A and B are shown apart, each in its own frame.
Chain A
Amino acid sequence: AQSVTQPDIHITVSEGASLELRCNYSYGATPYLFWYVQSPGQGLQLLLKYFSGDTLVQGIKGFEAEFKRSQSSFNLRKPSVHWSDAAEYFCAVGTEYGNKLVFGAGTILRVKS
């Protein structure tokens, strides 16, 4: 069965610093990969997705992620973090187009000024 691991429960970065959130997945075939952000009391908002093609994908709010098949990873990055980026971030894997998602446990991002 597929699974997603987000090794970092909490991460704190200074405003303006770069960010990398880690995500490792377990799935035998080519996965569909997603990053979502959840602010308190809000639903999940899609940041970006990878289905195929270019392994570096760009998303909203200045985020990008790189798919590395050899490492089974899909890490999220942002070159300069803003205070408004403080939220919880979830990596998810889908096994078929349009099918259910399996989520990681999430990483809570704190931004200090």
Chain B
Amino acid sequence: TQLLEQSPQFLSIQEGENLTVYCNSSSVFSSLQWYRQEPGEGPVLLVTVVTGGEVKKLKRLTFQFGDARKDSSLHITAAQPGDTGLYLCAGEWPGTYKYIFGTGTRLKVLA
């Protein structure tokens, strides 16, 4: 059973378009992290959100944690080819410091 479902699984868009990736669960998490992973490398942390309703911005990336701390979204404005990669969300299981990763969203931005 996958606790964290991401959608869409695959996304191919043109440079300059906007996109949103969703991370949904029926479980509550203490915090939620977003990573980007490129081929042949390990995931790299983009952001950690902790408070329900929290919004964080990282240049063209906007991250939001749901009010109930069960879901999150990642919005990219004016996507660039350098944004291409596998985007992973990871929820921190309450009281354990164990992270459950989502199914991943593979993004390709075409020049």
A binds B: no
